[in-house]
């Protein structure tokens, strides 16, 4: 196993690539090499390659070949456009400039001015005829003569701008290779798809596309090639996928052709400004979970001709057309999703869908399109399915459709369909939907209103929708990570390994630093309490869910954890800070009941450490609105008392393993003598994660 480095600015393809000082320069060099399982090919952050990447080799079942990033700064960008310069003013038509561009008409479908996409105008006979349809901010392409025409948005010479025009079909391409991972890359502009998956012969699998941004694509961010000879399996996770060209019907994840999709997993992604977020047909199986889709032109998930479909814990907000549109999918599972403000249906299942299970979902204020027909319903079931433990809310008229019959009241729907016996028609009482916070407030009727479907929950029954509300275990929101990956809220334990959240700590553990670790190929977890030297018997993790871990010396030192098995990493181990009142482990300068005297000013600092394994963006802190005597500072100089997340003190981004200090100052008053726990009044959040 070897690590290779690629540096566009200082690299040299004549070097061996085995160190940063001897890095290669081009992706063409990478495409022509042969790699072995376990090899890493790392592109330097902050660099831009106007090429495409085609992995030439496969990993195997023991190790992936990984293409990722090194260094600091922005993710390395693979750009499918050429910079165009040397524009000439057209002699006849005002403000019109041209430059040569040798390419086919089908490949010239996007032109950007300083990163803003300009509007295309179809070529019509000659430039005089075409110019009549042009205005500022438009462009056209004379294919026979290889001339690109542009009328800049400010009427100026395009050479005063950075002009980029599509040149390459894709940024990444899989051709007859497998066991390949792409991670931490910026894929920008192409004339078809950011990642194309193709095979000429054998089925492929174990392709991972993760932690990337793909934008300015045309038919899809990830697309299975129509003429692939066999099925290709792929996992697509933790990406931000957005900004399609808007010229054709498209799917951000597009597997639209028969017998080309293998086992497909789509999880923890954000989709926006696309057409369909998912357009997937004929795959062997499909898992869609923990995705955030918003402001797309069409369905969140258009899924057809797949009999193994599992859609859970997604939230679709303000997407066009339907939240879920399932066709010819038998035994589909649709549970713990939120569909809000869809133009048409929250869920549509056609007559060829049988045996579906629809539970624990929230359908909120859908049917928002300008033109509504009887075809547009909160729920439209034309096949057979079981629906229960769902919540429906509309600020207009409800519509449910069962078979060919339409119902406009909840009671007639339930009586006629025999469905939704334990479901509700109620306002879900989100925290702040006006500002896109669709977490459940503490008074939501969706809390504890669901039925177990194999997902973790607390305490007695699952909540409805993708966000599980957690009660305040110790009077403090220690962490709240809002990313789609998972949510951490109201814990009395700070710090853990990726994929594990500690939800409750038995009192016998006491304050101090315990440890949690993942072992045996990432399948078993173990706990060691503070003041203990022995890990407890490891607990085998068989799936996502809740588990109980015991210390090795005292079996009453128990922690309960919520596990997201996708993110478990073999060998991961981390300290976990426990506090009986949170103030005990801080140090000598914290406030205790014995020290609390009215008028005293106590100052101390706590160290926040990112032990998640991924970047935490914009960590913030604030205090209880009812508390006026606590001030916080990022630099021990400028003190503030923010009392909500909206006005919170912002701290620098924290890289994986990094830490930072939060300074705290409190003026003690008589009322605080009985409640000296400063940290019981602090709240922390991370705006995004990963």
pLDDT > 90? residue 590 = no
Q: Which of the two residues, 591 and 549, has the higher pLDDT score?
A: 549
**What contacts 53, CB < 8 A, 6 or more positions away?**
27, 30, 31, 67, 78, 171, 172, 173
pLDDT > 90? residue 87 = yes
- 400 belongs to a structural domain: yes
Tens of pLDDT, residue by residue over 394-434, are 888 778 988 888 898 999 999 999 999 999 999 999 988 88
Rounded Cα–Cα distance for residues 350 and 382 (Å): 5
Largest Cα separation within the chain, whole Å, is 89
Please write down the long-range contacts of 679-682, taking CB distance under 8 Å and 24 or more positions apart. Answer: 679/476, 679/579, 679/581, 679/582, 679/583, 679/586, 679/606, 680/474, 680/475, 680/476, 680/581, 680/582, 681/475, 681/476, 681/623, 681/624, 681/627, 681/630, 682/476, 682/621, 682/622, 682/623, 682/630, 682/632
Q: Are 43 and 107 found together in one domain?
A: no
Q: What is the pLDDT of residue 479?
A: 32
pLDDT > 70? residue 604 = no
Q: Do β-strands 163-166 and 81-84 pair in parallel, antiparallel, or remain unpaired?
A: antiparallel
Residue indicated by tokens 């991670």? 183
Beta strands (DSSP E) in 168-308 are 170-175, 180-183, 186-188, 193-198, 204-210, 213-217, 220-224, 232-237, 240-244, 251-255, 261-267, 270-272, 276-281, 285-289, 292-294, 301-304
As a whole number, mean pLDDT of residues 61-89 equals: 94
Q: Are 181 and 273 found together in one domain?
A: yes
CA angle (197, 185, 203) in 5-degree steps: 20
Which letter does DSSP use for residue 578 in this model?
Answer: E
Rounded Cα–Cα distance for residues 277 and 206 (Å): 22
Q: What is the pLDDT of residue 368?
A: 65
Q: What is the pLDDT of residue 363?
A: 95
Tens of pLDDT, residue by residue over 108-142, are 999 999 999 999 999 999 999 999 999 999 999 99
Judged by average pLDDT, the poorest of 158-162, 254-258, 593-597, 620-624 is 593-597
Residue indicated by tokens 């429906």? 392
pTM above 0.75, yes or no: no
**What contacts 308, CB < 8 A, 6 or more positions away?**
284, 285, 286, 331
Q: Are 393 and 520 found together in one domain?
A: no
Rounded Cα–Cα distance for residues 19 and 601 (Å): 53
Domain containing 606 — which CATH number?
2.60.40
How many structural domains compose the chain?
4
Q: Are 549 and 617 found together in one domain?
A: no
CA torsion 623-624-627-631 (nearest 10°) is 0
Residue indicated by tokens 């140090």? 587
- 432 belongs to a structural domain: no
CA torsion 19-23-27-31 (nearest 10°) is -50
pLDDT interval class at 526 (50, 70, 90): very high
As a whole number, mean pLDDT of residues 233-254 equals: 88
Q: What is the pLDDT of residue 489?
A: 28
Give DSSP secondary structure letters for 374-424.
TT--SEEESS-EEEES-EEE-SS---EEETTEEE-SHHHHHHHH---TT-E
Beta strands (DSSP E) in 383-523 are 385-388, 391-393, 400-402, 405-407, 424-425, 430-432, 437-440, 493-494, 500-505, 512-519
- 690 belongs to a structural domain: no
Q: Which of the two residues, 367 and 361, has the higher pLDDT score?
A: 361
Reduce the secondary structure of 597-664 to three states and give it as a string. Answer: CCCCEEEEEEEEECCCCCCEEEEEEEECCCCCCEEEECCCCCCECCCCHHHCEECCCECCCCEEEEEE
> Exposed, middle or buried by CB within 10 Å (0-12, 13-18, 19+), for 513?
middle
Tens of pLDDT, residue by residue over 311-362, are 999 999 999 889 999 999 999 999 999 999 998 899 999 989 999 999 999 9
Q: Are 133 and 177 found together in one domain?
A: no
pLDDT interval class at 512 (50, 70, 90): low
Q: Are 215 and 329 found together in one domain?
A: yes
Judged by average pLDDT, the poorest of 281-285, 410-414, 581-585 is 581-585
Expressed as residue numbers, the domain containing 655 is 601-684
Domain boundary among 144, 165, 186: 165
**% residues pLDDT > 90 (the chain):** 53
Give DSSP secondary structure letters for 320-349.
SS-SEEEES-TT-EEES-EEES-SS-SEEE
As a whole number, mean pLDDT of residues 560-579 equals: 72
- 333 belongs to a structural domain: yes
Q: Are 225 and 322 found together in one domain?
A: yes
Buried b (16+ CB within 10 A) or exposed e, 142-163: beeeebbbbbbbeeeebeebeb
pLDDT > 50? residue 670 = no
**What contacts 607, CB < 8 A, 6 or more positions away?**
659, 660, 661
The pair of three-digit structure tokens given for residue 184, joined into one six-digit string? 């931490």
3-class DSSP assignment, residue 58 = coil
- 178 belongs to a structural domain: yes
Q: Are 341 and 272 found together in one domain?
A: yes
Rounded Cα–Cα distance for residues 257 and 352 (Å): 19
- 585 belongs to a structural domain: no
pLDDT > 60? residue 588 = no
Q: Are 222 and 369 found together in one domain?
A: yes
Domain boundary among 165, 187, 211: 165
Q: Are 199 and 298 found together in one domain?
A: yes
Peptide bond between residue 459 and the one before it cis (omega within 30 degrees of 0): yes
**What contacts 689, CB < 8 A, 6 or more positions away?**
481, 482, 483, 485, 612, 614, 615, 616, 617
Domain boundary among 131, 148, 165: 165
pLDDT > 60? residue 493 = no
- 424 belongs to a structural domain: no
As a whole number, mean pLDDT of residues 595-612 equals: 57
Rounded Cα–Cα distance for residues 87 and 100 (Å): 8
**What contacts 597, CB < 8 A, 6 or more positions away?**
668, 673
- Cα dist from 536 to 43, 403, 512, 517, whole Å: 41, 55, 17, 11
Q: What is the pLDDT of residue 496?
A: 65
pLDDT > 90? residue 488 = no
Specify whether the CB–CB gap between 367 and 393 falls below 8 A: no
Question: CB count, 10 Å around CB of 618?
Answer: 14
Q: What is the pLDDT of residue 163?
A: 98
Domain containing 285 — which CATH number?
2.160.20
- 190 belongs to a structural domain: yes
Q: Are 90 and 38 found together in one domain?
A: no
pLDDT > 90? residue 40 = yes
Q: Are 160 and 220 found together in one domain?
A: no
């Amino acid at each position: 196993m070897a690590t290779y480095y690629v540096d566009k600015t200082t690299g040299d393809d004549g070097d061996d690539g085995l160190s940063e000082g001897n890095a290669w320069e081009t992706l063409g060099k990478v495409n022509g090499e042969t790699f072995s399982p376990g090899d890493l090919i790392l592109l330097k952050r902050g660099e831009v390659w106007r090429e495409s990447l085609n992995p030439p080799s496969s990993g195997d079942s023991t190790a992936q070949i990984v293409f990722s990033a090194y260094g600091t700064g922005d993710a390395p960008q693979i750009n499918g456009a050429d910079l165009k310069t040397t524009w000439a003013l057209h002699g006849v038509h005002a403000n019109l400039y041209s430059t040569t561009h040798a390419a086919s008409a089908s490949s010239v479908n996007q032109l950007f001015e300083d990163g803003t996409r300009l509007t295309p105008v179809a070529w019509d006979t000659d430039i005089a005829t075409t110019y009549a349809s042009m205005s500022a901010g438009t462009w056209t392409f004379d294919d026979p003569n290889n001339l690109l025409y542009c009328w800049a948005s400010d009427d100026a010479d395009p050479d005063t701008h950075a002009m980029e025009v599509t040149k390459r079909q894709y940024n990444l391409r899989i051709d007859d290779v497998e066991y390949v991972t792409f991670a931490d890359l910026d894929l920008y502009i192409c004339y078809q798809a950011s990642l194309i998956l193709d095979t000429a012969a054998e089925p492929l699998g174990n392709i991972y596309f993760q932690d990337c941004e793909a934008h300015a694509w045309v038919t899809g961010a990830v697309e299975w090639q129509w003429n692939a000879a066999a099925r290709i399996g792929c996992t697509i996770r933790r990406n931000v996928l957005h900004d399609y060209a808007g010229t054709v019907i498209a799917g951000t994840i597009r597997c639209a052709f028969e017998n080309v999709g293998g086992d497909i997993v789509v999880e923890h992604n954000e989709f926006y400004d696309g057409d369909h977020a998912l357009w997937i047909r004929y795959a062997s199986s499909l898992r869609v979970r923990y995705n955030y889709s918003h402001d797309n032109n069409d369905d969140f998930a258009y899924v057809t001709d797949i009999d193994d479909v599992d859609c859970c814990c997604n939230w679709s907000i303000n997407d066009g057309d339907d939240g879920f549109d399932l066709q010819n999918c038998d035994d589909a599972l649709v549970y713990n999703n939120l569909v809000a403000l869809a133009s048409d249906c929250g869920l549509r299942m056609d007559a060829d869908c049988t045996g579906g299970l629809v539970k624990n979902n929230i359908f909120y204020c859908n049917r928002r399109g300008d033109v509504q027909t009887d075809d547009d319903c909160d729920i439209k079931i034309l096949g057979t399915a079981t629906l229960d433990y769902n919540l429906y809310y509309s600020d207009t008229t409800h519509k449910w459709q069962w078979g060919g019959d339409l119902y406009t009241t909840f009671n007639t729907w339930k009586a006629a369909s025999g469905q939704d016996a334990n479901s509700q028609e109620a306002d879900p009482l989100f925290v702040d939907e006006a500002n896109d916070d669709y977490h459940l407030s503490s008074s939501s009727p969706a809390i504890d209103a669901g039925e177990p479907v194999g997902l973790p929950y607390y305490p007695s029954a699952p909540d409805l929708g993708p966000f599980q509300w957690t009660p305040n275990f110790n009077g403090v929101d220690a962490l709240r990570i809002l990313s789609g990956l998972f949510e951490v809220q109201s814990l009395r334990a700070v710090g853990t390994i990726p994929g594990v959240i500690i939800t409750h700590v038995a009192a016998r553990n006491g304050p101090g630093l315990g440890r949690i670790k993942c072992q045996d190929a990432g399948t078993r977890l173990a706990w060691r309490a503070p003041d203990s030297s022995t890990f407890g018997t490891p607990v085998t993790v068989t799936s996502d869910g809740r588990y109980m871990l015991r210390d090795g010396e005292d079996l009453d030192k128990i922690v309960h954890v919520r596990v997201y098995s996708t993110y478990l990493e073999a060998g991961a181990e981390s300290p976990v800070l426990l506090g009986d009142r949170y103030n005990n482990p801080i140090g000598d300068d914290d406030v205790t009941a014995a020290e609390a005297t009215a008028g005293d000013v106590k100052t101390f600092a706590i160290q926040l450490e990112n032990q998640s394994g991924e970047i935490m963006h914009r960590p913030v802190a604030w205090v209880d609105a009812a508390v006026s005597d606590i001030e916080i500072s990022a630099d021990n100089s400028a003190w503030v008392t923010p009392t909500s997340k909206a006005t919170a003190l912002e701290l620098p981004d924290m890289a994986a393993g990094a830490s930072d200090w939060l300074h705290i100052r409190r003026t003690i008053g008589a009322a605080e003598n009985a409640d000296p726990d400063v940290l019981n009044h602090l709240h922390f959040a991370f705006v995004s994660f990963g």
